[in-house]
Structure 1
């Protein structure tokens, strides 16, 4: 991390292989411990799980990871897996990265879960657009802008998210095409990260 700081580079911390350490019930450690260690290692952004998409996770637990990564002071909140108050003092925060199977229909949930201080990494959700990469990027950006505007107007993204995206499709043919491609794509499985 010192090299990155000295040379103006961002340090991305990928969570590949984390499951070997934190998804085993009989050994290992919980991802919240890894998140703290990775923050202390000096990374700038890290895959944190998404709640939606294929990097599953329980919503409250993932929100706990996000708090631990980017907030300076985190109150004890057992419902989020935060078992004691954490004061990071002046240690820089880390931006959570949402990626893995996410697409335009996930944007309302991603906006609600991660807010403004995050990285939304759409791989296949961009590259899988039927018209190519650039229209895929446009579709994602239009969906994000529509959700941020709706949130800022006080609308309920959890309840109105699909309608917000549908209305934005009227102004963006790129988004309309992406919505058609991704309408049936779902990842349905039980989360491994649970409080027990």
Structure 2
């Protein structure tokens, strides 16, 4: 027989193995709680511990204890190693129930944030990862040597199907690759799903022929899981190459199911991160956007919003670091195409590409449709801004060389970022 207590979950001499899932937490111990006591409780509660000391027959016990193996009081970080056998292979809900579950509400800490994870091959190989990843740039679109360009019709809800299709036509003709639904447009009476998809994809096919560039549509299929599968089939039946899922609000089990279904349909998955800030905006608590992006890659999305590196309207975050992880080697798993979105316009595109590089998606809404010349002119201005960046020419110089749409955008918005 052996007794199990909190101290058993703290070992600052422990050397992680290659099969451990390693998690970095930012922790603020509660009043009267030492760093060691707080760290051991994080490891205990997120694996196989409990508040009371137990006496257990070792012959009947599988050792699945997590170990807090490093504490940095200055930075407030605690590193915890989890044995892979603690987790159900291929089940993201079960994994997150451990490493981001009850510990988020423990009284032993005033706050706790899951900052980062280092995933072992044993767990990574149990997930499918993206079907395409950044390869969508050339395998499904014609974005060779430049970012993929997308736009959401504005206002993002309330437009009729006629208006939605007309805006898509103008944007595609102006040089955008992808029309995109926003997070809260699904199947409402003012713009029903099936009519919108059928007519928009038909127009995308027309514009593909007209422009000589492949045009497509990121269709928001977010709904109850079975309905999402039906909607994905509808998109595939009408020649679409992409679906979009609000991954946080839909839930990771649903995302995994959609990923499996979309492989049979040859559909790439665009991940909208709506609700992510409920977990990652407060820097001392919750789950970081980097971890949300990691989970998304494992579950199999092909592109995901990762922020604008402070150049848009949303809260600044470590967009370059997140993007680097999404493109990093992960035991051969496909990468993910990062997408910058939120308050962008042609005047900030040059700096955005300088910071994030050209292998990204750029999604612009109001910065296209608010152009004084209308949507098509706004799309041309965005495309011209990208062309200038790819040629290493300043936006002002490129605009002055006969690119009137870009000049009008610069006159309207300059290079300021909105709030």
**TM-score, scaled relative to structure 2:** 0.36
Q: 1:178 aligns with which of 409, 412, 415?
A: 409
Deviation string, structure 1 residues 7-41 (Cα, Å, up to 9, x no partner):
12121111110011112345311111111111111
Give the distance between the partners of 1:183 and 1:26, measured in 2 at CA. Answer: 35
**Counterpart mapping for 1:1-196 below 5 A:** 1-25=259-283, 27-51=285-309, 52-58=311-317, 61-72=318-329, 88-150=330-392, 164-170=394-400, 171-183=402-414, 185-187=416-418
**Aligned residue pair count:** 159
More helix by share: 1
1:130 aligns to what SS in structure 2?
coil
Give the distance between the partners of 2:333 and 2:289, measured in 1 at CA. Answer: 19
- Whose Rg is larger? 2
**Relative contact order higher in (CA < 8 Å, ≥ 6 apart):** 1
2:340 aligns to what SS in structure 1?
strand
Give the distance between the partners of 2:341 and 2:348, measured in 1 at CA. Answer: 11
1:150 aligns to what SS in structure 2?
coil
Give the distance between the partners of 2:263 and 2:327, measured in 1 at CA. Answer: 18
Give the distance between the partners of 2:405 and 2:415, measured in 1 at CA. Answer: 17
Q: 1:130 to 1:141 in 2, by over 3 A?
A: same
Contact 2:344 2:417 in 1 (8 A): no
1:97 aligns to what SS in structure 2?
strand
Q: 1:119 to 1:15 in 2, by over 3 A?
A: same
Shift of 1:147: 0.7
Shift of 1:108: 1.3
2:338 aligns to what SS in structure 1?
strand
Give the distance between the partners of 1:134 and 1:187, measured in 2 at CA. Answer: 22
Shift of 1:71: 2.3
Give the distance between the partners of 1:181 and 1:144, measured in 2 at CA. Answer: 18
Unaligned runs of 5+ in 2: 1-258
Q: Which residue of 1 aligns with 2:124?
A: none
Give the distance between the partners of 1:25 and 1:174, measured in 2 at CA. Answer: 40
**TM-score, scaled relative to structure 1:** 0.76
Q: 1:120 to 1:169 in 2, by over 3 A?
A: same
- Superposed structure 1 runs of 4+ greater than 6 Å apart: none
Deviation string, structure 1 residues 68-88 (Cα, Å, up to 9, x no partner):
11222xxxxxxxxxxxxxxx0
More strand by share: 2
Contact 2:348 2:415 in 1 (8 A): no
Shift of 1:184: 7.1
2:417 aligns to what SS in structure 1?
coil
Q: Which residue of 2 aligns with 1:194?
A: none
Shift of 1:185: 4.5
Give the distance between the partners of 1:25 and 1:45, measured in 2 at CA. Answer: 24
Shift of 1:113: 2.0
1:13 aligns to what SS in structure 2?
strand
Give the distance between the partners of 2:261 and 2:343, measured in 1 at CA. Answer: 32
